[in-house]
Amino acid sequence: MSPAVPPPAAGWRTYLNGRIAAVLFLGFSSGLPLFTLIYLMQAWLAKSGLDVKALGLFALVTFPYTFKFLWAPLMDRYSIGSLGRRRGWMALSQVGLFLAIGGMGMLNPLNQLGLVAAFVLAVAFLSASQDVVIDAYRREILSDSEQGLGAAVIVNAYKAASLIPSALGLVLADSQPWSLVFWVVAAFMLPGLVCTLLIAEPAAYGEPPKNLQQAIVLPFREFIQRDGWRQALLIVGFVLLYKLGDSMATALATKFFLDIGFTTKQIGLAANATGWWASLAGGIVGGVWMVKIGINRALWVFGLLQALAVLGFAWLAKVGPDPLLLSAVFGFESFASLGLGAAALVAFISRSTDPRYTATQYALFSSLAAVPRTFINSSVGFIVAETGWFMFFIVCFFLAFPAMMMLPKIAPWNAKQ
């Protein structure tokens, strides 16, 4: 059963506790590796001379984010060392990420491209594994009444982590060797590791799976039998498509900014000046709005806003290297997509997850959400080469609407929350 729910009279102060603080640190640790691959690695490879098609294909190397549900049952079934089932896996993945991120920057992409791909694959695998166990920990450590706030906090922390590779990393890269930059970024994995060592292991919802068959079969059987095959497929399709347009639009954002004339320092400063505050505002507003209007209506409103954010990139493609407009585009995209839209999707996934099978079911849903970033985004370089940046962003805008058309079935506007 769920942890005790705080009484309504206790107010918001009840939710400002050590559990929420742990979610904050672990959310930061969860986001850092992914954004290192999206922003820092992309700038590193672009500056090394790789063309836009090769950069797009590198998205395929991050396929572990899409298939992490395949080994999630192992993380439900087995423990690592004396730290416990959740903390043991978290500590192992965090140590591995510190070494893999730092070591990757010591390579030369021009004559060690295969080894670079291997390190990127290692970072993606360890990062996806860390996500599995952190998502399970968050679902298990928070009461039902804290899940909405937990979703807003982890989205905020996840996005805040992007500022390390996209702002600090790119600013450092303007004057420091890439090897030092990558080790500096890797060092930001250490606060999450310290948090893992200090927090308590969550109480299990029922008994852990006794064997691999239980760990693999029961979570999928429950999901399918809950409301039938049709509703299960609708949920799968919705999670797959909800952030498709936004994910494609930002897949080669750093390359786009460099192509239209910005320097790495300008990109980093714009992200630092607007990204943090816009993300913070998006997470806070998203959390408050979801409390007020419910998850269903939030999916409608936030989905529309994140689609509109894509048009900011199209506007920038027409105007050119305007630093003020760059900051505005960064800010609105952070607010609408990585703040509001991501919080709504995380809350929806949490609501769709049975607490008895947290790691496996949440890994399945979040893996589906990563499909556009991993496979569809690998075609972005080829699309841009054919259409140019402006038309590409227009296409991305319209790709945001297939998921919106599924909302009457998935999350009806007037449904009781």
Residues in contact with 367: Cβ distance below 8 Å, sequence separation at least 6, in sequence order: 65, 66, 67, 68, 69
Amino acid of residue 204: A
CB atoms within 10 A of CB 245: 27
Write down the pLDDT at residue 1.
39
What distances in angstroms separate CA 75 from CA 137, 208, 222, 239, one per listed residue? 12, 10, 19, 23
Ordered per-residue pLDDT tens for the chain, 417 residues: 344 444 443 444 445 677 888 999 999 999 999 999 888 888 888 887 777 666 766 766 777 887 888 888 888 878 888 888 889 999 999 999 999 999 999 998 888 888 988 999 999 999 999 999 998 898 888 776 677 677 878 888 887 888 899 888 988 988 899 999 999 999 999 999 999 999 988 876 656 667 777 777 888 888 888 888 888 899 989 998 998 888 888 888 888 998 998 888 888 777 666 776 787 788 778 877 877 787 889 899 999 999 999 999 999 999 988 888 988 988 898 888 877 888 888 888 888 887 777 888 888 888 777 777 666 767 788 889 889 999 999 999 999 899 999 999 988 888 765
Residues in contact with 306: Cβ distance below 8 Å, sequence separation at least 6, in sequence order: 243, 245, 246, 336, 337, 340, 341, 400
Q: By the 8 A CB rule, do 248 and 300 touch?
A: no
Domains of the chain, each with CATH number or no CATH: 14-410 (1.20.1250.20)
Give CA–CA dist 186/144, Å, rounded: 34
Closest C-alpha to 386, from 51, 46, 53: 53
Closest C-alpha to 343, from 152, 125, 195: 152
In 25-114 the beta strands, taken as DSSP E runs, fall at none
**Predicted model pTM:** 0.72
Q: By the 8 A CB rule, do 173 and 181 touch?
A: yes
